[in-house]
Structure 1
Amino acid sequence: MAMDKIEINEALLIRASLKKKEDFCGFLEHFSSTLPTYAPGYWNIVEPINRTWDVDEILEKMPVSESSILWKRKSKPRGWGRVARQLTKANSETRHAYHALFVDVNSDQHAHELIEYAKQVARTYGVVYAFIDSPSDGYREAARRNKLAPFYRDMYVRTEGLNVCLYDILWGQIFGPEYVRLFGLEKLLAAPAYKVELVAEDSVYLQLTESLFDVHNDYRRVDKVRWQVKEHLDDNIFFDRYLPIGHDYRKPVFEFTE
């Protein structure tokens, strides 16, 4: 049976560091104005997410030591997410700034707005990598079978994972400059997907099928295109369950801004 509402996961690893509180809050303003359909109603540092959304208040009350905030939207379409600054951890590994969104979508128009939001972030702040997808039953089963741990339940990507390999081709994604160099621009633009386009001077958007609802309503077709794209692109870049633990995949050398 065709679904008329689905849960969407969207994640953006951002090139800008957002370390300064003013830059961080500028990004929050950009989020709520660029994606008004999912504009937050509440925020907090931790659960419960119960402070009324006010970017000026966030600028004033967010502790300098905090690296992220949570946001929530209770009115329809509902959603929540996390926005984080670039962070260097105790082991000296650096994690990109990111925005993770978990939202309800009940139309292709809503999905289109989420795609356009990712493209606008790529043009305004730059993205290392971004994706939009929905954790369908078919994909969860395949993720378990293929040992794709980050996608068993909720899809997510962090810098630590990308430092090992690129996990998979998802329904929609933006490859930033490091990945464009890794794959090659001409090869990316020639991928056998529904849509492949240059969204910024050095970033490419790739979408598997016409509708995001396809991942639930016609999963086999989406997966067929996924594997066609991976076969076209892969040069020891994507995770392979048959390779030994510790296998050395090709991966970008990430650049970090201050």
Structure 2
Amino acid sequence: MAKMNQGLAVSLLIPRSIDDLATGEKILDLWESKLPNLLPERYGNWEPLRGVFDINDKARMLESWKSPFIASRRKPYLDSMISMGLMKLEFHGSWDVTTKIGEVDLEEIKEFVEVASSELDVDHCSINLLSEQEVQSGRQSGTILVANSRATDFGFMIASHRLNQSLPDVYWLTIYGPPYIELFGRDHLLAAPVYRVTELRTGHIMVQLTEDINDMIVNPGHFAFVRSRFKEHVGQDAFYSVDHTGPYRVPTFNRRQAPGV
């Protein structure tokens, strides 16, 4: 089984700048309705975080709605950063959440990413368990951040510009938006040889590699096999590999308006 303090990382990449207050309010609403047990205690735009997070006073918190919007909580552990997607190399706005697997309800996290992916019209979303193997491979692909001086805590982030080079990997649960559905083919994605593939109401496609996220720890060989088989199914040349030579296959990204605009 995964250790109780094993990091659990969620990453959402949204194909537009998200610095407008309407999107900020939508994200705070999603936090309140879908992650009620992971509401932050503190927020701000730099460390140390000075603001007291009060979900009943969203207007005050939105006064700080600029990049980066950082939020944290001691227990259940939460470290979250929202990047507005305004930098030259940032095609996407992003919302990254790191917590501890033993302190949260994984089904609640899954429901959150399903709803948030649809509501925010993501290009890519993932849930990843930061096992020792994932940390090692993520440091190679550039998705792992060292969170303390002893290199014992880690964060996870897929940078927007990274997707212009390749996908870093496929994760225990990944949601693909329009660019990747076009790249891989909708029917081909839906036929992927994994535990479960689900088409969401917005047309996004959710891929869950195995039934149990603990497979990454207790049955890593099986997890690696399913992960590799998925990549072979949609095309290995879309995913980062230390041994890869030649160009990667990447989609064309188009900025889209917020849903309902």
TM-score with structure 1 setting the length: 0.86
Alignment match, 1:42: 42
Say which SS state the counterpart of residue 189 (structure 2) adopts: helix
CA 1:180 to 1:187, structure 2 compared with 1: closer, same or farther past 3 Å?
Answer: same
Code of the residue aligned with 1:40 in structure 2: it is: P
Where does the alignment leave 5 or more consecutive residues of structure 2 unmatched? 146-153
Alignment match, 1:249: 248
Q: What is the aligned-residue identity percentage?
A: 25
State whether residues 68 and 82 of structure 1, in contact with CA within 8 Å, keep that contact through their aligned partners in structure 2.
Answer: yes
Alignment match, 2:119: 124
Which residue of 143, 153, 178 maps to 1:150?
Answer: 143
Alignment match, 1:193: 194
Query: Whole-Å Cα distance in 1 between the matches of residues 177 and 220 of structure 2?
Result: 27
Query: Whole-Å Cα distance in 2 between the matches of residues 138 and 86 of structure 1?
Result: 30
Moved over 6 A (4+): none
Corresponding residue pairs, total: 246
Code of the residue aligned with 2:43 in structure 1: it is: W
Query: Whole-Å Cα distance in 2 between the matches of residues 43 and 222 of structure 1?
Result: 36
Query: Whole-Å Cα distance in 1 between the matches of residues 83 and 43 of structure 2?
Result: 13
TM-score with structure 2 setting the length: 0.85
Query: Whole-Å Cα distance in 2 between the matches of residues 67 and 5 of structure 1?
Result: 28
Query: Whole-Å Cα distance in 2 between the matches of residues 224 and 151 of structure 1?
Result: 22
Say which SS state the counterpart of residue 237 (structure 2) adopts: coil
Query: Whole-Å Cα distance in 1 between the matches of residues 111 and 52 of structure 2?
Result: 26
State whether residues 2 and 101 of structure 2, in contact with CA within 8 Å, keep that contact through their aligned partners in structure 1.
Answer: no
State whether residues 194 and 210 of structure 1, in contact with CA within 8 Å, keep that contact through their aligned partners in structure 2.
Answer: yes
Say which SS state the counterpart of residue 143 (structure 2) adopts: helix
Which residue of 101, 104, 108 maps to 2:100?
Answer: 104
Alignment match, 2:82: 83
Query: Whole-Å Cα distance in 2 between the matches of residues 185 and 26 of structure 1?
Result: 28
Alignment match, 2:61: 58
State whether residues 6 and 213 of structure 1, in contact with CA within 8 Å, keep that contact through their aligned partners in structure 2.
Answer: no
Code of the residue aligned with 1:206 in structure 2: it is: V
Query: Whole-Å Cα distance in 2 between the matches of residues 210 and 5 of structure 1?
Result: 21
Query: Whole-Å Cα distance in 2 between the matches of residues 84 and 24 of structure 1?
Result: 11
State whether residues 180 and 202 of structure 1, in contact with CA within 8 Å, keep that contact through their aligned partners in structure 2.
Answer: no
Alignment match, 2:68: 68
Query: Whole-Å Cα distance in 2 between the matches of residues 30 and 138 of structure 1?
Result: 31
CA deviation after TM superposition for structure 1 residue 50, in Å: 3.3
Alignment match, 2:7: 7
State whether residues 95 and 158 of structure 1, in contact with CA within 8 Å, keep that contact through their aligned partners in structure 2.
Answer: no
Where does the alignment leave 5 or more consecutive residues of structure 1 unmatched? none
Query: Whole-Å Cα distance in 2 between the matches of residues 207 and 38 of structure 1?
Result: 23
State whether residues 111 and 212 of structure 1, in contact with CA within 8 Å, keep that contact through their aligned partners in structure 2.
Answer: no
